[in-house]
């Protein structure tokens, strides 16, 4: 026996072996298989090596080329697969039963398959055994994945988190149409995708589509909480308050936030954190319009709302420190630069160090305030710190660049500003 040979391949590995054996029986090359399936040679190579992620349509195309059925491709893939957590592998504290492991792998393989096609893929005896708990188990797992991704929204870079969020959204959408709980999960995951994509300037088109899906799914699922949140967060597509130059539409942003406030106000049971998230965002847009009294009033109500948070959310403010960051930005937008510096200093003192992106934004806003007060050394000091954190977080660098372009443009020949420019170019 060859040392290191896997005597118990994963279901994906067994699928790859089955495809490869049949391909050779028919005298096809991998390139020919790829061409006839409509996929790249690299994709086919990954698949036969056990690293593929085929959809139903891929499996159907492969089965047709191999002159077999999809059921033949999937038959028996899980019969001899060992419990992947034997020996508490990968640092697991507890052991997962073999049946639970097989179910999770089964879900992983079929996550992209519409529910209506399951009967065609597995034999009726196995279907009878699994169908009673399949939908509930799938939804439970899908919800756990969604909330796991959402919990990373504050600390992971958008570029790192977006592929996983997109993959989960594809899996949910491929099972549509479905029960209300599936629609609700799809809408919430779409909102996560939108909130990640909007932070990446080149993906604003994707953000627009994801926001639209989030609103539609929330309405269809009668998920009133996330309908209000999705409408309010869509305002970020039109906002100019992030600190870097871009064309916006503050009037449209305000319309969406007013609608979200109305949706929230119509429900006495609306979570306090929902109100805080929406009102703090509206405060920023009010500040852009010069409405200082309205902005501060929204922030005060948001602060009161946080004392009764209710259902948890993963976008916007969660507590006093994040609200302090937004209050400082509102003061900056209103031209209250000295107040902004003081507010943002207090915010940084107690802010969780893991919130690297938030800290970068706070420092960038402080840099802008100092620049407007013509305190260049202080401004550049804050911006250099912000830039370092932004590059660690994979987020907020555009905010730093925006402050440089907008607030330090008239000081380009100053040595301290040229030092900042060198660091920006080095990125």
Mean pLDDT (whole number) for 37-47: 86
What lies within 8 Å, CB to CB, of 374 at 6+ separation is none
Mean pLDDT (whole number) for 378-384: 95
Mean pLDDT (whole number) for 215-242: 91
pLDDT at residue 46, as a whole number = 87
Kindly indicate the confidence band of residue 233, based on its pLDDT and cuts at 50, 70 and 90.
Answer: very high
Question: Residue 381 pLDDT more than 80?
Answer: yes
Kindly indicate the confidence band of residue 9, based on its pLDDT and cuts at 50, 70 and 90.
Answer: low
pLDDT at residue 256, as a whole number = 95
Kindly indicate the confidence band of residue 283, based on its pLDDT and cuts at 50, 70 and 90.
Answer: very high
pLDDT at residue 272, as a whole number = 85
- pLDDT tens digits, residue range 55-99? 656 777 788 889 887 767 777 664 444 333 333 233 333 333 444
What residue ranges do the domains of the chain occupy?
A: 11-86+97-122
Question: Residue 376 pLDDT more than 80?
Answer: yes
Q: Interior CA angle at 118 toward 117 and 122, to 5°?
A: 130
pLDDT at residue 130, as a whole number = 43
* CB of 125 closer than 8 Å to CB of 171: no
Question: Residue 382 pLDDT more than 50?
Answer: yes
Question: Residue 135 pLDDT more than 70?
Answer: no
Q: Interior CA angle at 277 toward 193 and 388, to 5°?
A: 65
Kindly indicate the confidence band of residue 418, based on its pLDDT and cuts at 50, 70 and 90.
Answer: very high
Kindly indicate the confidence band of residue 392, based on its pLDDT and cuts at 50, 70 and 90.
Answer: confident
Question: Residue 41 pLDDT more than 70?
Answer: yes
Out of 17-26, 268-277, 343-352, least confident range: 268-277
Mean pLDDT (whole number) for 93-113: 42
pLDDT at residue 281, as a whole number = 94
* Between 107 and 331, residue with greater pLDDT: 331
pLDDT at residue 193, as a whole number = 94
Mean pLDDT (whole number) for 143-147: 83
Mean pLDDT (whole number) for 24-28: 92
The secondary structure of 165-209 as a DSSP string is HHHHHHHHHHT-S--HHHHHHHHHHHHHHHHHHTTSGGGHHHHHH
Percent of the chain with pLDDT over 90: 42
pLDDT at residue 26, as a whole number = 92
d(CA 169, CA 146): 9
Among the residues of 306-336, which ranges form H helices? 320-333
Class of domain 11-86+97-122: mainly alpha
Cβ neighbourhood burial of 405 (10 Å; 0-12, 13-18, 19+): exposed
Question: Residue 211 pLDDT more than 90?
Answer: yes
Query: Under DSSP, is residue 161 helix (H, G, I), strand (E, B) or coil?
Result: helix
* Between 134 and 20, residue with greater pLDDT: 20
The residue whose two tokens read 């989960």 is: 168
Task: Give the dihedral of Cα atoms 270, 271, 276, 282; nearest 10 deg.
Answer: -30
Which span out of 91-95, 118-122, 232-236 was modeled with the highest average pLDDT? 232-236
pLDDT at residue 123, as a whole number = 44
Give me the phi and psi of 48, to 5 degrees please. -70, -20
d(CA 387, CA 153): 20
Which span out of 28-42, 112-126, 222-236 was modeled with the highest average pLDDT? 222-236
pLDDT at residue 53, as a whole number = 66
Kindly indicate the confidence band of residue 267, based on its pLDDT and cuts at 50, 70 and 90.
Answer: low
d(CA 23, CA 19): 6
């Amino acid at each position: 026996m060859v040392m290191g040979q896997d005597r118990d391949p994963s279901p994906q590995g067994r699928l790859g072996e089955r495809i490869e054996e049949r391909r050779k029986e028919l005298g096809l090359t991998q390139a020919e298989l790829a061409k006839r399936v409509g996929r790249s040679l690299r994709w086919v190579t990954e698949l036969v090596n056990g690293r593929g992620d085929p959809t139903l349509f891929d499996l159907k195309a492969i089965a047709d080329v191999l002159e077999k059925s999809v059921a033949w491709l999937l038959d028996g893939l899980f019969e001899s697969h060992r419990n992947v957590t034997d020996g508490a592998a990968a640092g697991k504290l507890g052991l997962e039963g073999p049946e639970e492991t097989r179910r999770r792998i089964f879900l992983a393989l079929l996550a992209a398959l519409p529910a209506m096609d399951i009967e065609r893929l597995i034999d009726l005896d196995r279907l009878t055994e699994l169908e009673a708990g399949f939908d509930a188990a799938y939804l439970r797992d899908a919800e756990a994945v969604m909330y796991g991704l959402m919990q990373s929204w504050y600390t992971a870079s958008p570029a790192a988190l977006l592929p996983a969020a997109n993959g989960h959204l594809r899996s949910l959408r491929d099972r549509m149409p479905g029960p209300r709980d599936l629609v609700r999960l799809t809408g919430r995951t779409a909102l996560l995708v939108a909130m990640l994509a909007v932070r990446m300037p080149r993906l604003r088109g994707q953000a627009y589509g994801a926001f639209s899906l989030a609103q539609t799914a929330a309405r269809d699922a009668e998920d009133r909480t996330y309908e209000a949140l999705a409408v309010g967060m869509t305002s970020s597509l039109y906002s100019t308050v992030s600190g870097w130059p871009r064309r916006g539409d503050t009037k449209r942003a305000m319309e969406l936030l007013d609608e979200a406030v109305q949706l929230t106000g119509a429900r006495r049971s609306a979570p306090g954190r929902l109100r805080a998230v929406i009102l703090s965002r509206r405060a920023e847009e009010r500040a852009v319009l010069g409405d200082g009294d309205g902005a501060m009033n929204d922030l005060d109500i948001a602060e009161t709302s946080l004392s009764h948070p209710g259902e948890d959310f993963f976008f916007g403010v969660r507590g006093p420190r994040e609200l302090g960051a937004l209050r400082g930005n509102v003061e900056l937008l209103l031209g209250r630069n000295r107040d902004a510096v003081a507010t943002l200093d207090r915010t940084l003192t107690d802010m969780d160090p893991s919130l690297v992106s938030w800290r970068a934004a706070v420092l960038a806003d402080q840099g802008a305030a100092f620049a407007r007060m013509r305190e260049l050394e202080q401004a550049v000091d804050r911006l250099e710190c912000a830039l370092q954190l932004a590059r660690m977080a994979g987020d907020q660098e555009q905010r730093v660049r925006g402050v440089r372009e907008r607030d330090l443009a008239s000081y380009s020949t100053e040595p301290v500003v040229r030092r900042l420019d060198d660091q920006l170019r080095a990125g």
